[in-house]
Amino acid sequence: MTQQLTGATTAAGTGTRWWRDAVIYQVYVRSFADSDGDGIGDLRGIEGRLPYLAELGADAVWLTPFYGSPQADGGYDVADYRVVDPLFGTLADAESLLRTAHGLGLRVIVDVVPNHTSDRHVWFREALAGGGRARYHFRPGRGADGELPPNDWQSVFGGPAWTRVADGSWYLHLFAPEQPDLNWENPEVRAEFEAILRFWLELGGRGVDGFRVDVAHGMVKAAGLPDIGTAEQVQMIGSQTLPFFDQDGVHEIHRAWRTLLDSYAGERIGVAEAWAPSAGRLALYVRPDELHQAFNFQFLRCPWDGAAMRAVVDESLAATASVGAPTTWVLSNHDVVRHVTRYGGGAAGLRRARAAALLMLALPGSVYLYQGEELGLPEVTDLPDELREDPSFFRSAGQEGLRDGCRVPIPWTGDGPSYGFGPGPGWLPQPESWGKHSVAEQTGDPGSTLELYRTALALRRRLAGLGDGPMHWLDGPEGVLAFSRPGFVCTVNTLPRPVELPAPGRLLLSSAAPDISGESVRIPGDSCTWWAI
Ligand code: BGC
């Protein structure tokens, strides 16, 4: 018996374009698989594990930056955009990875980092020597001797967003000092990035299938670089307008990139990593002539609370529907605390994380999975300070230093020096519990999180229309989210205790087994269930 419809239809997609409902698996390159035993994941390691991702049911893989870089920010400080850093392999390895992925039916998305270069990039070295400074933001300082930064902007990683160079002038870096911001008003910068995109779109013939655009909201700064008037800028990101983020001028760049992407066969896509003050502002990045997708950080940031989650789902779907784009869903990535831990950690955190995954996979839109979430990995919270590499840890006296804990190499086997990550230990130590979380230990165990993801992804593919198209909210008690999709109902109990409901249909899958008796069902606390109707 289905429940009464209470909501209007939300989100209507065309259902034909691959990226509208794609499940895209994020590989954090340095922590996925190490083929050569140096403790750092690499492209050959990834290539060897692609069959795992195809079998898991991913449609595409997103690789974090593997370009030439001094690694001041895990590769998001690029010194040469057209090479593979020797840490991760060679261009030939990248071509081979692309061929293998495509052979397995997996698309490959790579990161592009256009807001800033590394301070070792040839352009910045020239700038330090006095030439080509117009490619960056150099300004004289304030104060009697120019000893104060040109404005009050703060770096996202803590401290001032300006660093002074030998001749007394200052350059802007919204992130670490090793990541000087490019000046996108300069046509040379625009031309160079178009050439970089083409390089990767053509690599080895077929090229990559798209780009994740790093800091897609940051490339254009407000004219005159005005003061903000408060030091609380990091807390304002994503909720208020700042003169260095989400400026209208960025859209012109994304339109140019869309034209470039569309000039290649095979539906190459751009996905914006954009922080905007509202779902409506975020939707501007995915207008039909701009990028294809934007990460939905509102969903990621939403607490485990039924009413809050429903509101975020509604707002996200309405905003993207207004421009005809698909919504995306994401729970974890390499910059945030893993969601098992965010939802409370321990057994309760894992229960909620499993339920949230089923919720996300039942919603219309494209889904981003972060490596290891399919294993139910928690955040590693006890890394020794001396092993940390995240620049935000060092620039904020440790307060924000949470990004290494989600970047610990993932476990493939129950034992071995790095649980199958590589032949030797990994670059960060793995907890002892990693063995039981490993792919090998979970494979074939029907109660495991890995098998839950495998089954969910297979069902999502099989149930035509689940990834795209309309959804309807259904009546449910407070704390319970219920919605229908074509031939399908999803119920999520966000309360810690069981709830009794009329059984919506035939049980398909559940993050914690419901107790069905006759016409009614008892749904365990913190769980999600899929039903065929
Ligand atoms: C990336 C971070 C990186 C920052 C600067 C972010 O959006 O996801 O890992 O530190 O951009 O490039």
Cα dihedral value 174, 388, 376, 25, nearest 10: 50
**96 alpha carbon – ligand 1 mean position (Å):** 27
10 Å CB burial of residue 522 (0-12, 13-18, 19+) is middle
C-beta separation of 108 from 60 below 8 A: yes
Q: List the structure tokens of 320.
A: 């993207």
Q: List the structure tokens of 289.
A: 């002539």
Q: Is the pLDDT of residue 249 over 80?
A: yes
Instruction: Read off the pLDDT of each residue in 43-58 and give the average, rounded to a whole number.
Output: 98
From the centroid of its chain, how far is CA 135? 28
Q: Is the pLDDT of residue 344 over 80?
A: yes
pLDDT of residue 234: 86
- Atom in ligand 1 nearest the alpha carbon of residue 113: 12
3-class SS string, 177-240: CCCCEECCCCHHHHHHHHHHHHHHHHCCCCCCCEEEECCCCCCCCCCCCCCCCCCCHHHHCCCC
Residues 6+ apart with CB under 8 A from 133: 127
Sign of CA dihedral 207, 210, 214, 219: positive
- Atom in ligand 1 nearest the alpha carbon of residue 403: 9
Residue nearest to atom 5 of ligand 1 (CA): 76
Can you tell me the distance from the alpha carbon of 184 to that of 246, in angstroms, rounded to the nearest whole number? 14
**494 alpha carbon – ligand 1 mean position (Å):** 31
Can you tell me the distance from the alpha carbon of 490 to that of 383, in angstroms, rounded to the nearest whole number? 38
Helix, strand, coil share of the chain (percent; to 5): 30, 20, 50
Read off the DSSP letter of residue 245: B
Can you tell me the distance from the alpha carbon of 460 to that of 466, in angstroms, rounded to the nearest whole number? 6
Q: Is the pLDDT of residue 1 over 60?
A: no
Q: Is the pLDDT of residue 4 over 90?
A: no
**Dihedral class, residue 180 (left if φ above 0, else alpha if ψ from -120 to 50, else beta):** beta
Confidence label for 6 from pLDDT (cuts 50, 70 and 90): very low
Catalytically active residues, by annotation: 214, 273
Can you tell me the distance from the alpha carbon of 121 to that of 115, in angstroms, rounded to the nearest whole number? 13
Burial 326-356 (b: 16+ CB within 10 A, else e): bbbbbbbbbbbbbbbbbbbbeeebbbbbbbb
Sign of CA dihedral 446, 448, 451, 452: positive
User: Which residues line the pocket of ligand 1, CB cutoff 6 A?
Assistant: 73, 76, 113, 175, 214-215, 273, 334-335
Read off the DSSP letter of residue 64: P
Can you tell me the distance from the alpha carbon of 370 to that of 53, in angstroms, rounded to the nearest whole number? 12
What are the φ and ψ backbone dihedral angles of 309, each rounded to 5 degrees? Answer: -65, -40
End-to-end Cα spacing for the chain: 8
pLDDT of residue 2: 30
Q: What is the mean pLDDT of the chain?
A: 94
**336 alpha carbon – ligand 1 mean position (Å):** 11
**103 alpha carbon – ligand 1 mean position (Å):** 30
Confidence label for 117 from pLDDT (cuts 50, 70 and 90): very high
Q: Is the pLDDT of residue 399 over 50?
A: no
> Ligand 1, residues 78, 155, 175, 237: which to mutate, most atoms within 8 A of Cβ?
175
- Atom in ligand 1 nearest the alpha carbon of residue 115: 12
**215 alpha carbon – ligand 1 mean position (Å):** 7
Residue nearest to atom 12 of ligand 1 (CA): 76
Residue nearest to atom 1 of ligand 1 (CA): 214
SS3 269: strand
Residues 6+ apart with CB under 8 A from 86: none
**522 alpha carbon – ligand 1 mean position (Å):** 43
pLDDT of residue 396: 65
Residue nearest to atom 8 of ligand 1 (CA): 335
C-beta separation of 412 from 434 below 8 A: no
Instruction: Read off the pLDDT of each residue in 487-504 and give the average, rounded to a whole number.
Output: 97
pLDDT of residue 499: 97
Q: Is the pLDDT of residue 15 over 90?
A: no
Instruction: Read off the pLDDT of each residue in 389-403 and give the average, rounded to a whole number.
Output: 69
**214 alpha carbon – ligand 1 mean position (Å):** 6
> Ligand 1, residues 29, 76, 77, 81: which to mutate, most atoms within 8 A of Cβ?
76
C-beta separation of 527 from 355 below 8 A: yes
Residue nearest to atom 3 of ligand 1 (CA): 76
Cα 34–Cα 38–Cα 41 angle in degrees, nearest 5: 30
Task: List pLDDT tens digits, range 143-181.
Answer: 999 999 999 999 999 899 999 999 999 999 999 999 999
- Atom in ligand 1 nearest the alpha carbon of residue 76: 12
Can you tell me the distance from the alpha carbon of 283 to that of 324, in angstroms, rounded to the nearest whole number? 9
Residue 349 pairs in a beta bridge with none
Q: List the structure tokens of 266.
A: 């095979």
pLDDT of residue 468: 86
Percent of the chain clearing pLDDT 90 (strictly above)? 89
Q: Is the pLDDT of residue 398 over 80?
A: no
> Ligand 1, residues 26, 121, 214, 244: which to mutate, most atoms within 8 A of Cβ?
214
C-beta separation of 284 from 323 below 8 A: yes
Q: List the structure tokens of 191.
A: 């031309």
Q: Which residue has the tokens 């230093």?
A: 401
Residue nearest to atom 9 of ligand 1 (CA): 335
